[in-house]
Amino acid sequence: MKILRTKNAVKSFCLNLQLNKITIGFVPTMGALHQGHLDLIKKAKDNTGSVIVSIFVNPTQFNNIEDFEQYPKSLHNDLELLENIGVAAVFIPENQEIYPDKPILKIDFGLLEQRLEGAFRPGHFNGVGIVVSKLLNIVKPDKAFFGEKDLQQVAVIKRLVMDLSFDVEIVVVPTVRDKDGLALSSRNLRLNPVERNKALTLFRMLSYAKSELFNGGAWLDILFHVKHEFSQISDVRLEYFELVHAEDMSKQDSFNKDIPLSICVAAYVGKVRLIDNIPVNH
C-alpha cells in the first residue's frame, strides 16, 4: 500500500493506473475508520481495479470548532485496517496541501441544503462541495463511493457531479450498523457507555416511525410521539426528525409509495452530534 502525501504523488500514481487501463475506485474519508468505511472500500474493490482511500479531516465542512478539534483520530489503526483490506494507496494530505489558500469560492446547493444538515450546519455543504471537488480533481477516479448514512451529502454530491460535469460515477453504499442498530460513526468513539445506550434512541425511533408509516399511521402523530420519546431522555437533544424525498430532500408529510422516502434524524447525545436515516420504501 502506497502512502501518498502530496497532490503530485497522487496524480502520478493515478496516471500510471490510467495508462495501464486500470479503473480507479475512490473512497474519501475523515479517518477513525470503522466497518462502515470498510464496506465502502469492499464495494470499491469489487467494482474497480484499484482503490484509493483519502484520510483528511476537512476543516471547511465543520461549522463547530469543538467538533473539529474533538474529531477522533486513529491514523496508526486506520493504516493497519487499510493494509489488511488491501487498498492500492492512501492519500493523507496536510491541510496546506489541500488549502494553500482559503477558498473564496462558495457553493450554494439551493433547495437541497436548505433543510436538515444544511439548515443546522450553515456552510457545511459548501465545505463538502469544495473538498470533494478538489479530491475528485486530484484523483480523477472512475467511481467514487459514499455512504447512505449521510443521505443529504449523497444528494449534494450527485448534484455537484452533474452540475460541474465531473467524469465520475457515484456509488452509494447502505448504512452499516452495530448489532443493536446504532449506525457506525467515527463520532461514536466520543460516547461513554451511558451515552452510547441513549444513542440507540435514534435508530429505535427511525424503526418505530417506519413501521407506523407502513401501518397507515399519520406522520404528524408519529412525529408527536417521537418528539415526546426524545424529550424523556436526559442529555439527548433532538435537532430534527423528518420524512423526506430521498433524492431531492424535500419535506414530506405522508406516506406515498410512488416517491422514494427516507426518514432522517439528527440529535445531540451529550456533546456528540449524531445523524442517521432509514429508507422507507426504496
Which is catalytic among the residues 37, 76, 245, 282? 37
Radius of gyration over alpha carbons of the chain, in Å?
19
Binding of residue 146 to ligand AMP (CB under 6 A): yes
For position 36 contacting ligand AMP by CB under 6 A, the verdict is yes
| 124 part of the interface to ligand AMP, by CB under 6 A | no
Tell me if 147 contacts ligand AMP by CB under 6 A. yes
Indicate the residue among 117 and 242 with the shorter CB distance to ligand AMP.
117
Look-up: residue for cell 450553515? Answer: 122
List 50, 54, 133, 175, residue binding ligand AMP (CB under 6 A) = 175
Contact call for residue 40 and ligand AMP (CB under 6 A): yes
The full 3-state SS of 77-145, as one line of letters, equals: HHHHHHHHHCCCEEECCCHHHHCCCCCCCCCCCHHHHCCHHHHHCCCHHHHHHHHHHHHHHHHCCCEEE
Cβ proximity to ligand AMP, 57 vs 233, nearer residue: 57
The contacts of residue 28 (CB under 8 Å, 6+ apart) are: 53, 54, 56, 131, 132, 135, 144, 146
> Which one of 48, 50, 185, 262 is in contact with ligand AMP (CB under 6 A)?
185
CB atoms within 10 A of CB 86: 11
Positions 42 through 81 that interact with ligand AMP (CB under 6 A): none
Which residue type occupies 161? V
User: What is the per-residue DSSP string for 29-67?
Assistant: E-SS--HHHHHHHHHHHHHSSEEEEEE---GGG-S-HHH
By CB under 6 A, is residue 117 in contact with ligand AMP? Answer: no
Residue 37 annotated to the active site: yes
Task: Kindly tell me which residue out of 48, 50, 133, 186 binds ligand AMP, with binding defined by CB under 6 A.
Answer: 186
Residues binding ligand AMP: number (CB under 6 A): 17
**Which of helix, strand or coil describes residue 7?**
helix
82-90, 123-131, 169-177, 229-237 -> range binding ligand AMP (CB under 6 A): 169-177
What are the residue numbers of the active site? Answer: 37
Q: Could you list the residues that contact ligand AMP (CB under 6 A)?
A: 29-30, 36-37, 39-40, 146-147, 149-150, 173, 175-176, 183-186
